[in-house]
């Protein structure tokens, strides 16, 4: 489903270099990326999502469902991100003045290719599953961090994406809320058959993953550590 080979990336005017000789995942796999701060985990997720643009010499191959993306136009990458990727950000990236419902709807509100689906019904299904149906019209600024993270997960899953990317989605949450977020993410992703790639810190959430990749070894050209 995902194939990246010979990825070389460097930020302008920075000594940081990201090198990924090979990274491959099959559809439906759940993979945790672990490694120390600064080894390129978040940069890699942002490249996969198209948030950081690919340059012509960044990779010899980047394919998603057998479709080459490394040489795609910015418009094609935006379409790929909007239609096929759900991203759960560490800092949530919710609009505090908008309601729960409107935050979850943002991916389709900002899309020109979202017709023919009852998005309101899909939102209702998601917020009911996470227990927020009585708060649907409340601004997210009035929610706890645990509730905000549930909203962020619902937003990422709204379009039933084939690929879910999660960047330390439980950072700064207590143990109870962290477990709730992981359970929600996996339950909903399993229901729609999504592939999950998650960056996690320490041992947080690792019990959910059958495959774990040591990104420090990948970035320095070693053999990926799969457990």
Question: Residue 97 pLDDT more than 60?
Answer: yes
Question: Residue 224 pLDDT more than 90?
Answer: no
Question: Residue 90 pLDDT more than 90?
Answer: no
Tokens 């729609």 belong to residue: 192
| pLDDT tens-place string over residues 133-181 | 999 999 999 999 888 988 999 999 999 999 999 998 887 777 777 787 8
Local confidence band at 227 (pLDDT 50, 70, 90 cut-offs): very low
What pLDDT is attached to residue 143? 93
| pLDDT tens-place string over residues 197-216 | 999 876 767 887 888 888 76
Q: Which domains does the chain have, with CATH numbers?
A: 2-219 (3.40.50.300)
Mean pLDDT of the region 59-83: 71
| pLDDT tens-place string over residues 23-33 | 888 888 899 99
Q: Which is more confidently placed, 7 or 155?
A: 155
- Could you tell me what percent of the chain has a pLDDT over 70? 85
Local confidence band at 22 (pLDDT 50, 70, 90 cut-offs): confident
What's this model's pTM, rounded to 2 decimal places? 0.86
- Could you tell me what percent of the chain has a pLDDT over 90? 23
DSSP notation for the chain: -EEEEEEEEE-TT-S-EEEEEEEEE-TT-EEEEE--TTSSHHHHHHHHHTSSPPPTTS-SEEEETTEE-TT--HHHHHHHHHHHEEEE-TT----TTSBHHHHHTHHHHT-SS--SS-HHHHHHHHHHHTT-GGGTTSBGGGS-HHHHHHHHHHHHHTT--SEEEEESTTTT--HHHHHHHHHHHHHHHHHHT-EEEEE--TTTTGGG-SEEEEHHHHHTT----B-
């Amino acid at each position: 489903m995902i194939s990246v080979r010979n990825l070389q990336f460097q930020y302008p005017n920075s000594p940081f270099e990201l090198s990924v000789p090979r990274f491959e995942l099959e559809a439906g796999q759940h993979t945790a990326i672990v490694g120390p701060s600064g080894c390129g985990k978040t940069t890699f997720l942002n490249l996969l999502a198209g948030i950081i643009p690919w340059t012509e010499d960044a990779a010899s191959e980047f394919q998603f469902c057998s479709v080459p993306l490394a040489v795609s136009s910015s418009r094609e990458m935006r379409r790929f991100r909007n239609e096929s990727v759900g991203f759960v950000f560490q800092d949530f990236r919710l609009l505090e003045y908008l309601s729960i419902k409107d935050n979850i709807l943002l991916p389709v509100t900002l899309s020109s290719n979202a017709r023919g689906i009852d998005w309101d019904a899909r939102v209702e299904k998601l917020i009911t599953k996470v227990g927020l149906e009585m708060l649907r019209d409340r601004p997210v600024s009035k929610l706890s961090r645990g509730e905000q993270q549930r909203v962020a997960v619902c937003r990422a899953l709204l379009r039933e994406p084939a690929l879910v990317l999660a960047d330390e989605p439980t950072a700064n949450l207590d143990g109870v809320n962290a477990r709730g977020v992981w359970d929600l993410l996996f339950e909903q992703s399993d229901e729609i058959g999504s592939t999950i790639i998650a960056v996690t810190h320490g041992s947080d959430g690792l019990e959910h993953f059958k495959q774990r990749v040591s990104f420090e070894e990948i970035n320095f050209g070693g053999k990926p550590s799969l457990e």
